[in-house]
Amino acid sequence: MKAIFKSAVHMLIVKDNKILLQKRKGSKLWPGYYALPAGHVDEGENQYDTLIREAQEELGIDIDPKNIINDYVVLRRNYFEIDGKQLEPYIDYYFEIHDFIGIPKIVEEDKCDELIWSDINELPEPFINYEGAFLEDRTITTYDCKTDGAYVKKLKN
């Protein structure tokens, strides 16, 4: 049997050496957690279409894919349940963008409590575990997500 993956796009929007973060609300997963602006890839879309759509829907900004500085792909294997259902694996696309048109604002008030610019090395708490792990190590290609808990920064030896 072939595996079918859901996909999501995550935006690393950078300005003045800070990244834009949203405080989530209104969802079963990670309500009250800080996270990168993100969204699901809809049927018939590719990841670039989703990036453009989600930037407009969530933040009211326009992004040109030509302005992507870096892009990354991570397989997120989910090993926990929500409401008695096993979460499916995801293909997560991360796009780093420094140039965009407009001023980011909360457009979907039912999904976002707050927008903040944060130092990437001092993420606010609580922060989504798999996104924090990616921001700490952008070379990861697979992340085993075992809980819907918070990111805990690794201690350097």
The domain locations on the chain are 6-145
Higher pLDDT, 123 or 156: 123
SS3 81: strand
Give per-residue pLDDT as tens, 97-137.
999 999 999 999 999 999 999 999 999 999 999 999 999 99
User: Can you give the pTM of this predicted structure?
Assistant: 0.92
> Spelled out in words, what is the top-level CATH class assigned to the domain 6-145?
alpha beta
Write down the H helix ranges in the chain. 47-54, 129-136
Host H or E run for residue 77 = strand 68-78
